[in-house]
Chain A
Amino acid sequence: MIEVKNLSKYYGPTKAVEGVSFTVEKGEILGLLGPNGAGKTTIMRILTGFFQPSGGSAKIAGFDVVEEPLEVKKRIGYMQEGQQGPALYYEMTVRSFLDFAAELKGAPKKERNQNVYKAMELAGIKDVKDRIIGRLSSGYKQRVGLAQALLNDPEVLILDEPTRGLDPKQIIEIRQLIKNMAGERTIILSSHILPEVSMTCNKIVIIDRGEKVAEDTQEELSRKAEGGDKVVVKLKGKQEIPAVAKEFEKVKGLGELKITEEGGLTVVSVVRNGSKDIREDLFKTAVNNGWIILEMKSSILSLEEVFLRLTTKEDA
């Protein structure tokens, strides 16, 4: 449905996006994840035809965004991220704005009313339809932006930070809404909030400094990110850190070892490298040295950790 190949965008000499490729199948939700300024919005703006790419190509529903922008624009619903929430005509009422947007999108007059009502229903803004947009709370403004994107049942939805500025309850509602819409529609959403992406998306593309650093499902990403499982062992008493490190380094299959002191305990955190379960070896090492294990905990790397690992690798 969406095919991005080697996409690049430069603002003069400044690189915004370079060599990004990914595909999204029909019915999938793709999450673009990255720190602020990574190039997420730029990618979306190229997909929606607002920016021209400096290199590479992007196709939506088989239409090239540069060659046939009108065909592409007919098939997408785009919710942009403005300086303060989505950009809307603040002097208009919700109803008249959506009417205007539907008209621009080319809905015949008869269907227009129905389209507008359906979008308002989906976004949950029917009760504010006659209010002036500028006077709505930011949560409602966001929803008006979403309703605008939903007009005329687009095949592809492109949502730039759809939950920005919402309260926790609204965030859950919007996420649910987005999830409900997948299946029939193909969705790309961007966010720098990790749990959001991991909860709503089937597929995640991580962007950093304009380049793609990873693309996968969340589980796969966690597994791939240098080892996957993390084990934390807490030893009783303060131990000599170098000595502890030396002993634990002998354990095979360790990816990363970190030893710290915390509240009178010695904390050994290790990341597994490979598929071998290292908990047994860790236990034996401790016993052989006469260290008492008070706690041993293993966990899957959260998306947050994967993300940090991937995006801060160079600096580390």
Chain B
Amino acid sequence: MSMGIVLALAGATLAALTSGIGSARGVGIAGQAAAGVCTDDPEKFSKVLILQLLPGTQGIYGLLIGFITMTQIGVMGGSSDISLVKGLLYLAACLPVIFVEPLSAIQQAKASIASIGLVAKRPDQFGKAMIFPAMVETYAILALLVSILAVFGVSALSL
């Protein structure tokens, strides 16, 4: 048994961990703004709720990478004999998600808050308000993509 599995699992759990923290914080601060709007106009609830939820996806991406990695390294059943190099590679594969997801969640939440302000004043501009936070999400998705491809790539290697 080598240290490989430890490093690989650290990558998987860190992915879910940091993304979860980022999304929790993002959805939290966006929720405060959304609740503020609802005190004035409860009918905007559904609109501001959608905006509040936008920074929540990063947590899901973290979960996704965590889960994929765990199934690939055999923590969820199967063989978990992983070399040190391979373990390190898995950890490296998780890095984009570990770093980009929490930061993008918080930045996206800030854009969401601004958009919630926009919807509060001009509810007819909801379509545009949704796009600003979605722009930030692009980078979360790109990080997710690189991590997915890397995790699958690493499991195909025979090291």
A, B co-complexed? no
- Residue numbers of A with Cβ under 8 A of B are none
- Residue numbers of B with Cβ under 8 A of A are none
